[in-house]
Amino acid sequence: MLTVQRQIRESDMSSTRTETDGFGPIEVPGEALWGAQTERSRRHFAIGTQRMPIELVHALAEVKRAAADVNGELGLLEAGKAAAVSAAAARVAAGEFDAEFPLSVWQTGSGTQSNMNTNEVIASLASLALGGGLGADRTVHPNDDVNLGQSSNDVFPTAMHVAAVLRTRPLLAALGRLRAALQAKAVTFADTIKIGRTHLQDATPITLGLEFGGYDAQLAIAEHALRQALPAVHALAIGGTAVGTGLNTHAQFGRRVAATLAQRLDAPFVVADNLFAAMAGHEALVVLHGALRTLAIALTKVANDIRLMGSGPRAGLGELHLPENEPGSSIMPGKVNPTQVEALTMVCAQVMGHDVAIGVAASQGQFELNVYKPLIAFDVLDSLRLLADAMDSFAAHCVEGIEVDLPRMQELLGRSLMLVTALAPHIGYDRAARIAKHASTHRTSLQEAALSVGGLSVEQFDAWVDPRHMLGPR
């Protein structure tokens, strides 16, 4: 069996062309738009199956497009060439050439090879548009023209931030839809009284609406944290070039590129106050992902509560009927499982794991550059995508279809010993505790225990022990 490396070297090589870079000539698949540096990375980093996220490639292309426009405006790039590069970058950003980006996430820690992959594809497209060819016949240079005024060290982190901002939008939209579904259930269940639980043991009564309102409030905290994290992500490293000094770029370049991106992508992008920090560290993305971790924690709690309330249907709590979407067992006929809960909580576990990896990676900034950028980018974007998809699925296929088993809920409420709490203001804590212990020991109802212990009448018990009167302050 061929190794992965040999498969890559030998695939698509029936027709080749020669490309050249600083390391000399190399054969590239004949129809490929990429060039020598992409091909070297494709061969030398055949690691795993994870590819550089396409959202990051699209963000890189948006940066290249803005850079070409600015370089044309500043007179640093001939007008026709600037227009061709900008148009080519726009097509890449729109996803027309996604197959031209084959590189692994596990490559150079600066993302240089993916930056060059983008430069080479855009250069090839611009060259063809201007009547040139590929390889030695290319009339647009990947470095001198497409990468003009830039370095991988400032462009790649800029693209990381742009991609994160763009991916946060669908996540916030999905979170809004899930919160709306929870809020609707809170209204629907506003008068549905059930037994509360603490320590997984019976507690005093609560309404199901209050519980669902609490779930929404937990997610609101996570949403607030996300929105608070975004301003730092709007700050871009563009203009810093190699080490943050701006060597080989125009003094206005970074500011103009950020302004172009802000206008084009409808986001308040600006140049970071400190370009050295923007390239050497990734605290902004650490904070953003920390908010995603908070969201994952809240979602896990919400999903597990719903899972437990729907457990059974006959040997569990069975208070809720969860939507039955598909068979749950290959051997047990009729079994249905809380699969949406399981999918959501697995996603949340993955996000929590990503947070650990991002923290470790972000700590590895030595001097002027963090060199774990692809890992950080991959995990942040993966978390954003997974959480958005999982929340939409959970809202549509679980929360919106939840129904109450009212007889079961009333049965559990009536059997709870913690209704005795209503007696404490009238007969004292110690006597109320003796009643609860008597009911538990002799397996009687609370009323029967109260009458056996003595000291109050049936009428007093019924007047004082009413779940409807136990939902708030006296």
Distance CA 311, CA 337 (A): 9
Q: Does 198 count as an annotated binding residue? A: yes
199 is catalytic: yes
Distance CA 458, CA 320 (A): 32
Greatest CA span in the chain, whole angstroms? 102
Going by C-alpha positions, the residue among 422, 167, 417 that lies closest to residue 288 is: 167
Three-state SS for 218-259 is HHHHHHHHHHHHHHHHCEECCCCCCCCCCCCCCCCHHHHHHH
Give DSSP secondary structure letters for 296-350. HHHHHHHHHHHHHHT--SSSS---EE----S---SSSTT----HHHHHHHHHHHH
Distance CA 306, CA 319 (A): 9
What lies within 8 Å, CB to CB, of 146 at 6+ separation is: 64, 68, 85, 89, 118, 119, 122, 123, 126, 140
Task: State which amino acid sits at residue 29.
Answer: P
Q: Does 407 count as an annotated binding residue? A: no
Q: Does 151 count as an annotated binding residue? A: yes
Task: State which amino acid sits at residue 461.
Answer: F
Neighbours of 90 (CB within 10 A): 17
Distance CA 69, CA 87 (A): 10
Q: Does 139 count as an annotated binding residue? A: no
Q: Does 336 count as an annotated binding residue? A: yes
Q: How many CA atoms lie within 13 A of 126 on its CB side?
A: 30
Q: Does 337 count as an annotated binding residue? A: yes
Helix, strand or coil for residue 24?
strand
Q: Does 86 count as an annotated binding residue? A: no
Local structure of residue 150 (DSSP, 8 states): -
Q: Does 168 count as an annotated binding residue? A: no
User: Which residues share a beta bridge with 320?
Assistant: 404
Q: Which of the residues 329, 363, 440, 457 is marked catalytic? A: 329
Give DSSP secondary structure letters for 46-78. --SSPBPPHHHHHHHHHHHHHHHHHHHHTTSS-
Q: Does 118 count as an annotated binding residue? A: no
Q: Does 294 count as an annotated binding residue? A: no
Q: Does 204 count as an annotated binding residue? A: no
329 is catalytic: yes
CB 120 within 8 A of CB 33: yes
Q: Nearest 5°: CA angle at 28, between 30 and 111?
A: 130
CB 427 within 8 A of CB 211: no
CB 452 within 8 A of CB 445: no
Q: Does 111 count as an annotated binding residue? A: yes
The continuous run of DSSP H or E covering 29 comes out as strand 24-29
Q: Which of the residues 14, 41, 86, 199 is marked catalytic? A: 199
Q: Does 41 count as an annotated binding residue? A: no
Residues designated catalytic: 199, 329
> What are the binding residues?
110-112, 141-144, 151-153, 198, 330, 335-337
> What are the binding residues for substrate?
110-112, 141-144, 151-153, 198, 330, 335-337
